[in-house]
Amino acid sequence: MCIKTIKPQSGISLVEVIIFIVIVSVGVAGLMSVMNVTTKYSADPMIRKQAIAVGESLLEEIMLHPFTYCDPDDPNALTATGSAGCTTVEGLGVEGAETRYSNVTPFDNVNDYHGFQMLAGIYPVNDGTTLVTGLENYKASVTMTAMDASTFGLPPDPGAVLRIDVTITDANGNDVGLTGYRFRYSPNATL
């Protein structure tokens, strides 16, 4: 009687090698696609940070202006106790020939920025001819909403608070919005 003993297999078969190659190939292809997406969008955080920085800068520029009853050029601006005492009442939007880019008649009140837009790049204040390098494809717009002080738990005073919305559109067409509130806490301070 002859008993055949089966020798255990040593090494790997061709089928196992092919299956291994297929599995590893699928894994590597998946990793490469993830790396491709990551690399493709790696600049987006920088673009978003630039848009936020531009928005914060513009919002700060606006908030640093006075918020008075009268236009700061009005002779009654320092003594008016309400808009009835003004020759030129300060309202939302620009009065006369004021512009952000002028050294002669610049924006002189928070309200002047209502409706302001930069649609062909970002310009520095008091210069409407020199684009900020790297921000040529960005856009900015400002809208304001007058609010009653009672909304914030203060005594009623219509128009004593401005909600300022700054929207920056980055080079990729994505919008970044910032909102600030300006209170008329010193209505006769013109500086």
Residue among 133, 57, 42 nearest 100 (CA): 57
Q: Look at residue 43 and tell me whether its pLDDT is greater than 70.
A: no
Mean of pLDDT values over 30-43: 79
Mean of pLDDT values over 105-122: 88
Q: Look at residue 184 and tell me whether its pLDDT is greater than 70.
A: yes
Q: Provide the mean pLDDT of the chain.
A: 86
Q: Would you say 160 and 152 are in contact if contact means Cβ atoms under 8 Å apart?
A: no
Q: Show the tokens assigned to 9.
A: 């297999």
Whole-number Å distance between alpha carbons of 182 and 134: 30
pLDDT tens by residue, 120-155:
888 887 777 788 888 888 999 999 999 999 999 988
Q: Would you say 90 and 111 are in contact if contact means Cβ atoms under 8 Å apart?
A: yes
- For 95, phi then psi, to 5°, come to -100, 125
Q: Look at residue 158 and tell me whether its pLDDT is greater than 70.
A: yes
Give me the percent of the chain exceeding a pLDDT of 70. 96
pLDDT band at residue 1, thresholds of 50, 70 and 90? Answer: low
